[in-house]
Amino acid sequence: MTYSIVALDSESGLVGVAVASGSIAVGSRVPWAKNAVGAVATQAYTNPALGPLILSYMEEGFTSEEALIKALGTDDSPNMRQVAVISVKGDKAVHNGNNVPKECGYCMGEHCVCIANLVKSSDIPKLMCHKFEELMREGNLARALLEALKEGHGAGGDKRGDRSAALLVVGPTPYGELYDRLIDLRVDYSPDPVGSLEKLLRLIMKA
C-alpha cells in the first residue's frame, strides 16, 4: 500500500517524513512531525490517530519505543498497523504488525527508519535507507528524503502503482511554536506522484 521514511538531520535538529502510496491523498494521514520532538509515519491499514498520539507521548519525555508501545496499547488492531518513529534525540522505533500486507518490511539507519507494505520488492526499505544515509552527508534533509522516496519508486513502489506522495519537514520558523512546517508538500493524485513531488520541491527551493 505504502512506503515511507522518517528521518533526522542531527546537525540542525530538523525532522521529516516522505511517503508514497497507491492510495490517494496519502499525505493527509501517514506523515506526522513536530519541531523539537520527532517524526512518525503510520500506515498499512492506517490508524492516523497514532501519529499525533505518539508525538504527544514523546513530548512528555517518553522515548520513541516507549511512545510507540503506549500508543499501540490504545489501538484495537495493532497487528494491522505499520509504524516508524524517530525522535530529535535520534532514538528510533518500528512496529510491523503480523497482518500487514506483503511484501512488507523495515530498515533502520543511523538517522532514519524506512517502512513498506504491499510493495513490489521487500528490498525497498533497505534501498531507501541506504540512499538517505548516503545523501544526508550533504546536509539537505528534504533532498535526501525525496531521493530515498525515488529509490523506493525505482525499485517498483506500490504493487498497485504509485498514485500519491508527500514530503514534510519541520523545524523552527519565524511564527513560533504553533507553526513549525518548513516544507509541507502533497501530491494527492498523479500518474507520477514522486516525480510531481520532486518538481514541487525544486520550485520551492528556488523561491
Contact 26, 2 (CB under 8 A): yes
Q: Which of these ranges, 7-11, 184-188, 203-207, has the smallest mean pLDDT?
A: 203-207
Question: What secondary structure does DSSP assign to 157-195, as a single string?
Answer: -BTT---EEEEEEE---TT-TT--EEEEEEE-S-SSHHH
Q: pLDDT by residue (tens digit) across 85-133? A: 999 999 999 999 999 999 999 999 999 999 999 999 999 999 999 999 9
Put simply, whether the predicted model's pTM sits higher than 0.95 gets the answer yes
Please tell me the predicted confidence (pLDDT) of residue 138.
Answer: 87
Question: Which whole number is the average pLDDT over 142-161?
Answer: 98
Q: Is the pLDDT of residue 207 over 90?
A: no
How many Cα neighbours within 13 Å face the side chain of 165?
29
Q: 11: burial class by Cβ within 10 Å (0-12, 13-18, 19+)?
A: exposed
106 vs 56: CA distance, rounded Å: 24
Q: Is the pLDDT of residue 52 over 80?
A: yes
DSSP state of 46: -
- Give the model's confidence band at 31: pLDDT under 50 very low, under 70 low, under 90 confident, else very high: very high
Please tell me the predicted confidence (pLDDT) of residue 7.
Answer: 98
Max Cα-Cα span within the chain: 45
∠ CA(51), CA(52), CA(57), 5° rounding? 105
Cell numbers for 87, please give them.
525522535
Other Cβ atoms within 10 Å of 138 Cβ, number = 10
Mean pLDDT of the chain: 97
